[in-house]
Each structure stands twice: as C-alpha cells, then as structure tokens.
Structure 1
Amino acid sequence: MTGTHFLIVILVILFINTAFYLYARKKLGIPKPSWWYKPVNSTQGLLEIVLLILLGFSLFRFPPENMLILFLFLTNCLRTFMEWKYRREEKQYVHYLFGAALLLVIYVYICIFF
C-alpha cells in the first residue's frame, strides 16, 4: 500500500468517524468528553499500555499500516467494552463501537486489496 493511498484512507476514516460522532452526540445526548481520553480504571490503562508495547514490537515484523489499523481496532474494542461495563449511562461506548466497526471494515479492505 502506498503512503498516499493509506493517508487518503485514514482521512476518510477520520471524516466518517467525526461525522457520526457529531450526529450521535446530538441524537443520543452523549456528553462532550475531555480532549485527552482518561481510562475508566487502572486495568484499562494497563491493557492499553500493553497494546501499545505490542504495537511497537510488531512494527518490526509486520506491515505498519496493518498493525496501526489493528491496534486502533483493538483499542476501540477495549474502550467500548470498558465504557459499556462501567459508564453505560454516558453512552460514550456507542462512539467507540462505531469506530471499531469502521476500523474493522478498513482492515478487511486493506487485507483484501493490498
């Protein structure tokens, strides 16, 4: 996959995700989160650090584009689960669930066509 094509795919993901988030915030009444994500508990923070370390090691062995998308997918899945389990009333998990589904579609797209 060329760098230009990957950049276009990332920008499309960013645009779709932002559009959905603005729609979901308005429709579901999701409160605006802080600029930097704060983990729900220390277990989530530790798991995200482990995922980041695994990303660093996997970049030497696998294609970086695939690993970045896979890392973002796993992080969104983890955040979806933790937000759903511990902060269900804020409905923030809907945004992370949509992001995970979108990243899964993009990951399959990259694996099939590149």
Structure 2
Amino acid sequence: MERDIETFMSDSLDFFQTFDDMKVCYDGGQSIVERALYGAAGGILSRNVVVRRKTAMSVYRLEQVADYLCTIELAAVKYAVHEDGETYDKFFGGVGAFKRNWLKQARRKRMN
C-alpha cells in the first residue's frame, strides 16, 4: 500500500510541490493504513513538509461531511449494480430503506 501511494505521489510530484504544507489526516483506525500514509508522504515529500498532529476528527467537520456523502453515494452505486452485500443491508436496512432515508436526505442537501 505504501509503495502504491509513493508511486502516485512521485507521478504527481509537481502538483504536490506547489503547496507549502501537506496535512495527512487519518483517524488511526487501521495502523497499517496510517503507517502507509505517513511513510509514503514522509518518504516522497520529506519529513519537513508533512505536518503531523494528534487531533480529533471533530476538528475537521467538512471532511467528515464529505466522507459521509461519499459513503452514501458509493452505497447507491453498489446497490444499483447489486454489489452491496450483507453489511450494507445490516447498516442501512436494505435497499428500500436506504433509498427512502439515507439517499433521499443526502441528495436533498446537494448543491447544483
């Protein structure tokens, strides 16, 4: 995983170098993901560029909203192609409940 992130960052190095700072925000849910993210960013961009701070995700409300909306849209795509699986049904209550409740509410908030 770290190697894939490093490859992506190397291929996009000109873009990343246009920024003064880069923040890697990860809630530490999976240590292997955290190590891959920080290792790749630190290895490619240098340790001086990466800003690492212990924070709570509640500080990053906009990112939480974006994550929520992306999760809902991904679920809609998976339901549409019948790749949802049992976890989606347990969490959302099936495709009907998902469309009536979760998807309807999220799409009502869309900005066009």
TM-score, normalization by structure 1: 0.29
* Higher RCO (CA 8 Å, separation ≥ 6 residues): 1
Query: Which structure: larger Rg?
Result: 2
Greater share of residues in helix: 1
TM-score, normalization by structure 2: 0.30
